[in-house]
Structure 1
Amino acid sequence: MADSKNPKRWLEFANMDLSTAEHLLNKHPTPYEIICYLCQQAAEKYLKGFLIARTAKEPPHIHDLDELCKLCKEISVDFSTVADICSELTEYGVQSKYPTDMAIEKDDVLQAIQDAKTLKSFLQKQAADLFPE
């Protein structure tokens, strides 16, 4: 599919995930697990969009943000500054989708949204050409 190799489409989907996460924050009861999952998904799509833009290759079919961040660091060492964010968000990729013992609180949700926004802001500086004005 042509869109899967279009980095801007990946970023559009990432933006939709982040926007939806923020919107859900105002719902009652607040779906904490879904919000954290969407933040992980946004981060994954931001990283994959960057990888596609800089390598012209389809990104690996993985959901581990630590691994995706390592691949991005091979392109720009600056990604080491967001490695902790990737580690924090990675756990929400699976654990928040299914019933587990993981207790997600409001502070975790607010941090996940902030982390996804921080990663987006970082990528806007790293790859300004990918983000519309």
Structure 2
Amino acid sequence: MEDCVAVDEKLDMKMVKTLFLCNRQKTDFYLFITCGDKPFKSKEFSNALEISRVSFAPAELMEEMLGTKIGAATVFSSLIDTENRVKIVFDKAVLSEKYYGCSDGTTTGYMKIKTTDITGKLLSFAHHIPTVIEV
């Protein structure tokens, strides 16, 4: 399995890529957190979840549902999604890392955070149960 590529070995941190996706009808939404250097393949993602093909959700829905703009998707938006309309999906490779780097919800700010703090604390507080897939 391919691991995430380190941004800076001294920081012991990997950058993630967070994608806001939806089905064709725009009724099912996904926030997919994967390795920053890994190409996204819609077919692999859909097959892993056993769902119909997905595509990138419209920018206006991202702003409305997650409170962020294109290029600023973040797992922290789960706090805004109080109705749990967006399913949080992790690439298994991300969860094998102690830390990862992610957007702070802007296009210019980033942070380093413990992976277990995201999966164990943040998502629990936000009432989101993440799904883990291997792609």
Q: TM-score, normalised by structure 2?
A: 0.30
Structure 1 or 2: more strand by fraction: 2
Greater RCO, 1 or 2 (C-alpha within 8 Å, sep 6+) = 1
